[in-house]
Structure 1
């Protein structure tokens, strides 16, 4: 879900950044998203019908500039040398928001609670919607920070 929400937001904002997600459940590579995931993404205009869960591969992680995880338990899957670029999505978004607010670039409100984003798998559709909305809120912060950085680069002639 997060991959598709992030890609959609990047595309809408004309930002060309590669996004990829991997499942940490090694027993489920090539699994399709749940019916509920497909439904809550469709509700916001996103088609994820072609998506397959990709197997967790360490070599892919070593090529990544940034790794965002949904909950603290996911951090156990990462080697120490990856931890400098691995963040809990909520912590990363809160840090960016705080930096942007302090620098006067953003007035976006976000709850002060830094939290794990619980996997809604197996729960009712409202839990999927809540998960989607939480992820989207954090992604909006990241996108806004990227836009601020790009604007600053343009103003500096870069």
Structure 2
């Protein structure tokens, strides 16, 4: 997940990646199910960039999971291996334990997909909801303010 941009303070996070041949189907466009992967990959890159920790480390090292409890995805245009996909990730709602993201994928100015993803902080051992950890709250509140704008 190296190709990311957006670490500038106050800037909306953008994850950029090239679409690969292996992600296509018989129609020679990205396979339908890959769009959810694109959105989730961008969201994990957001966690790494904005909170300083990826999902694996959060789960294994800190005992906190972030399973997704809701996903909505609208397809707007196909993408091919000729395309560089830029996915904008915005935290649009910070709840007590939940995070609601708006993820929008574009190839240049062309809209490729729009997604809404909701995850919840949980105790990794018991899978019970927990409040968003205090160490992440300032960054989450700043991102939620940016995402609302």
- TM norm. shorter chain > 0.5: no
TM norm structure 2: 0.24
TM norm structure 1: 0.23
Structure holding more helix per residue: 1
Structure holding more strand per residue: 2
